[in-house]
């Protein structure tokens, strides 16, 4: 029997609450944009960083791993903090911390300092998804959550789209360190906007102190569920594909496909535009299908299936000799990755609505841990010009993720109907 743990009471929605909730979703979008701006600066300046710190691509992969390991640890153990203290408090503290860590990168001159800054960045950024998912779960109805999740998750692509322009201009004017200062400083603006938007939301978005005392019990109960481990398999595959696109595509376009610094950065925008399109399209199509009378599990499974078909184009990107065809295939793969992620995020919200932050943290932490372990190997394959192997895996493994997430989606829909 499922363990019931203390939770916040259900509160009536005040007049205008739905409009206010969508405005808050806009802030979640901005936070996710900042999140990816701060982390994308490193991938966009990768060749400059590699040269200054005398690294090969495997060494660069190890730097990326420092971010992923701290990100994983905080998500695994810190998701319950979001459930216990509430996103109203945790979110602005996290944004301030990761912004400071990003700015700190501009002043490091040793490999140890670079590792420390990436490690600190991972600590702060790990709270973005548990906080955002907890916020949409608390403020919106189930039918609206896929679209809301798609909106804020599209910030990953929007941040990645904006970052090449900012980084290219600033690097050419002031060197590779200047973008870290600029993007980090933007976090202070977001913290102020969040404080303004949260006035009057204390009851609905506040703390649940009982959840802190019961965190170990909650995590153990979640880990005993078969659905959690099925979603873990999906998280490892789909989050890994998303992280690869974010961390390695700019360097891949420049080093493996022969594009110049500015050209490679600008062309990477097409890939991240694909991510943006997939986020919005998946959420919109599911919501529209449900409004028209489709069963929610059918709408979600259809979106996941289409996403897998698009990701099946990834191997062609790795093996074709035509670099613009490769770019097109990567962009379409990105649409599929984002579409799958939207449904995955919505499904994890429904796994245990009382402990969304804990579930998101555990799943995200495991996904980052596995990716962090694999990142140096990705760098080694890049050194050997064998990145096609990674694209081959991205094309095939999502079908395994589909087989894992499908029974979870079906079971959740059956539970709602009964």
Quote the Cα angle for 124-125-130, to 5°.
Answer: 105
Does residue 123 register a pLDDT over 90? yes
Q: Is 0.85 surpassed by the pTM of this model?
A: no
User: How confident is the model at residue 149, as a pLDDT?
Assistant: 79
Whole-angstrom Cα distance, residue 80 to residue 90?
11
Does residue 336 register a pLDDT over 90? yes
pLDDT in tens, 378-409: 999 999 889 999 999 999 999 999 999 999 99
Does residue 360 register a pLDDT over 60? yes
Percent of the chain with pLDDT over 70: 91
Please state the separation of Cα 197 from the chain's center in Å: 23
Q: Which residues contact 199 (CB under 8 A, 6 or more apart)?
A: none
Whole-angstrom Cα distance, residue 141 to residue 164?
36
Q: Could you tell me the pLDDT band of residue 207, with boundaries at 50, 70 and 90?
A: low
**Mean pLDDT (whole number) for 363-389:** 91
CATH number of 17-198+215-417: 1.20.1250.20
pLDDT in tens, 64-94: 999 999 988 888 777 778 877 888 889 999 9
Mean pLDDT across the chain: 86
Does residue 15 register a pLDDT over 50? no
Query: Can you give the residue ranges of every domain in the chain?
Result: 17-198+215-417
First to last CA, the chain: 17
Helix (H) or strand (E) holding 408: helix 388-417
**Mean pLDDT (whole number) for 158-187:** 89
Does residue 213 register a pLDDT over 70? no
User: How confident is the model at residue 412, as a pLDDT?
Assistant: 81
> What are the CA-CA distances from residue 285 to residues 144, 254, 335 (Å)?
12, 35, 14
Q: Which residues contact 244 (CB under 8 A, 6 or more apart)?
A: 371, 378, 390, 394
**CA gyration radius, the chain:** 20
User: How confident is the model at residue 205, as a pLDDT?
Assistant: 58
Which residue carries 């399209």 as its tokens? 281
Residue 310, token pair as written in the block:
């698009």
Does residue 245 register a pLDDT over 70? yes
> What are the CA-CA distances from residue 243 to residues 39, 288, 375 (Å)?
11, 29, 10
CB neighbourhood size of 132 (10 A): 31
Mean pLDDT lowest for which of 35-49, 237-251, 278-292, 324-338?
278-292
Does residue 7 register a pLDDT over 50? no
User: How confident is the model at residue 9, as a pLDDT?
Assistant: 39
pLDDT in tens, 279-298: 788 888 888 888 888 888 88
Q: Could you tell me the pLDDT band of residue 142, with boundaries at 50, 70 and 90?
A: confident
Q: Could you tell me the pLDDT band of residue 212, with boundaries at 50, 70 and 90?
A: low
Whole-angstrom Cα distance, residue 58 to residue 250?
16
């Amino acid at each position: 029997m499922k363990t019931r743990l203390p939770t916040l009471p259900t509160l009536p929605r005040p007049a205008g609450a739905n409009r206010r909730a969508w405005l808050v979703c806009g802030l979640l979008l901005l936070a996710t944009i900042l999140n990816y701006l701060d982390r994308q600066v490193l991938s966009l300046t990768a060749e400059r960083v590699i040269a200054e710190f005398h690294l090969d691509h495997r060494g660069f992969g190890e730097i990326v791993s420092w971010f992923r390991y701290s990100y994983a640890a905080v998500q695994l153990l810190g998701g319950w903090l979001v459930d216990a203290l509430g996103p109203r408090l945790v979110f602005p503290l996290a944004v301030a911390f990761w912004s400071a860590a990003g700015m700190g990168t501009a002043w490091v001159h040793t490999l140890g300092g670079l590792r420390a800054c990436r490690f600190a960045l991972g600590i702060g950024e790990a709270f973005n998804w548990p906080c955002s998912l907890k916020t949409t779960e608390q403020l919106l109805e189930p039918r609206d959550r896929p679209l809301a999740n798609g909106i804020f998750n599209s910030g990953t692509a929007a941040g990645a789209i904006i970052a090449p322009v900012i980084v290219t201009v600033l690097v050419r004017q002031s060197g590779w360190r200047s973008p870290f200062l600029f993007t980090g400083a933007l976090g202070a603006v977001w913290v102020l906007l969040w404080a303004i938007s949260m006035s009057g939301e204390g009851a609905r978005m506040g703390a649940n102190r009982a959840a802190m005392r019961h965190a170990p019990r909650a995590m153990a109960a979640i880990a005993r569920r078969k659905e959690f481990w099925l979603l873990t398999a999906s998280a490892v595959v789909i989050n890994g594909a998303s992280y690869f696109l974010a961390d390695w595509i700019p360097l891949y376009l420049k080093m493996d496909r022969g594009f110049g610094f500015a050209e490679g950065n600008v062309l990477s925008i097409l890939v991240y535009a694909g991510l943006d399109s997939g986020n919005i399209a998946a959420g919109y199509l599911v919501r529209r299908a449900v409004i028209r009378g489709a069963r929610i599990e059918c709408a979600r499974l259809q979106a996941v299936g289409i996403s897998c078909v698009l990701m099946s184009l990834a191997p062609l990107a790795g093996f074709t000799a035509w670099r613009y065809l490769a770019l097109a295939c990567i962009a379409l793969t990105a649409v599929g990755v984002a579409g799958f992620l939207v449904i995955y995020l919505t499904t994890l919200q429904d796994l245990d609505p009382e402990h969304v932050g804990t579930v998101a943290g555990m799943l995200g932490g495991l996904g980052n841990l596995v990716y962090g372990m694999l990142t140096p190997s990705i760098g080694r394959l890049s050194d050997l010009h064998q990145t096609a192997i990674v694209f081959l895996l991205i094309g095939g493994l999502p079908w395994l993720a589909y087989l894992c997430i499908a029974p979870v989606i079906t079971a959740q829909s059956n539970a709602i109907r009964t």
